[in-house]
Amino acid sequence: MRRPPTTLSGRSARVARPGIRRGLAALALLLAASTALAACGAAPEASPVLRGVSAPPAADPTEINVAQRIASMSLEQKVAALVMVHVPGTDPAAIRSVVDGHGLGGVILMGDNVAGDVAATRALTSALSSDPGLPLLTAIDQEGGVVARLPGDVWPAGRALQSASPEEVEGVFAARAGLVESAGVLVNFGIVADIEIGSGSFIGPRTLGETPEAAAERVAAAVRGEQGRALSTLKHFPGHGASPDDSHVSIPTSSLTLAQWRATHAVPFAAGIEAGAPLVMTGHLRFDSVSPLPASLSPTWIRILRDELGFDGVIVTDDLLMLQRSGDAHFGDPIENGVRALAAGNDLLLYVLPGDPASVGFDVGALVDALVAAVTSGRVDEEAVDDSLRRVLALRRAASAETGPFSDCGLKCVGLSPRARPAD
């Protein structure tokens, strides 16, 4: 398996599963051979002059595989693959029935999915993917400290790391990412890139630095520590610490200007992106001077993340049901919130579902139908959907140990639901 393509992050995002290690070794040999050939050429005066002749660039097997998959997908399949959900419980068949039944792209594990030791969680995650060539994007919140789903996380977290050196922080996150990897989980929603200005912020105990610069050093170190073990996620963009409020039950609001944000809350995110983080999570945070919408629904903030911070990896929303729980009538419909989030430019829509999704007015099939309708009507651009799909599928493909071309494995890979079947 090769190193993930630059579409994951412009800053050398890596997933060192066994296949990727082999791919990196092969790439190194290829570069070394090219250099040796150039060095061993004949003397310049005896060399023929060749003009206008060059070898075509090497084909990228992951990009080819992803392009082939996308070309085979219906619009329903495309938008469904941009949805990640939580399904309660430890029964892999129950989780698979939701994921395969709709062709979803990912699953987030919460506390109720973790029973017993890490080996039990690995047994669960290993039973969730139908297609070995395209593993399901499994994720978990493993920050450590007050936010830890897996047992055995004995390392310091949050404020306890504010006085640690960047080298110590890197070691802590390497160990924690090793725990995540041992549970068979690909993505860790575990790097808090927020800072606390002043005191009393909800997010304060989970932050890694008291100043933008201190947080930036430790955020970058955390990303370096997780590389090769878990896919790092920076959260909660554009910065939860700008407000003291809790986004689980409200829409935290800040009056900071864009210039003030650039000088403060942007700094740790920029450092984490520079270090190679392949995912960024958008928060339900409103900066009134920048956009009237929460960042998770704001095209303005997505543009800033892409264009100003140069991030070209996967943008995942925070749990979209949190918007509904804020009590703001504008965000009372969880399905409409998903459409807004995709239209804004997020790549992956996250829903932490309860045991009965209907109790919060949600249905996975209805969401997929609404997303299809939004694309068909032009509210969501299909080219943008394809771009998001390329980023998400590239993450999933890079996590496999396979490099061959796409081969449709039929219903055993896409589930038995008519919704998940390839278009005629």
% of the chain at pLDDT higher than 70: 82
Map residue 84 onto helix, strand or coil. strand
pLDDT value at residue 4: 38
SS3 401: coil
pLDDT (mean) for 240-264: 90
DSSP string, 46-80: GS----S--PPPPP-HHHHHHHHHHHH--HHHHHH
Q: What is the pLDDT of residue 3?
A: 33
Q: Residues 194, 318, 319, 347: which is the catalytic one?
A: 318
Integer Cα distance of 420 and 418 in angstroms:
5
Whole-number Å distance between alpha carbons of 333 and 338 = 9
Beta pairing class for 147-148 and 142-144: antiparallel
Rounded Cα distance, 271 and 263, in Å: 13
Number of C-beta neighbours around residue 332 at 10 A: 14
In angstroms and rounded to an integer, the radius of gyration of the C-alpha atoms of the chain is 22
Active site residue 265: no
Residues near 154 by beta carbon (within 8 Å), at least 6 away in sequence: none
pLDDT band (50, 70, 90) for residue 17? very low
**Given 248, 284, 307, 347, the catalytic residue:** 248
Give Cβ neighbours of residue 232 (< 8 Å, ≥ 6 apart): 13, 177, 188, 190, 191, 222, 223, 226, 272, 276, 277, 278, 279
Mean pLDDT for the chain overall: 86
| Of the candidate ranges 28-32, 93-97, 127-131, 413-417, the one whose mean pLDDT is the lowest | 28-32
Which of residues 363 and 43 earns the better pLDDT score? 363
Residue 21's pLDDT is what?
37
Residue 404's pLDDT band (cuts 50, 70, 90)? confident
DSSP letter, residue 319: P
Q: Residue 371: phi, psi to the nearest 5?
A: -65, -40
Q: Can 248 be counted among the known catalytic residues?
A: yes
Type of residue at 356: D
Higher-pLDDT residue of 15, 83 = 83
Closest CA to 13 of 274, 253, 360: 274
411 pLDDT above the threshold of 70: no
Is the four-CA dihedral 404, 408, 411, 417 of positive or negative sign?
A: positive
Q: Examine the pLDDT at 30 and tell me if it is beyond 80.
A: no
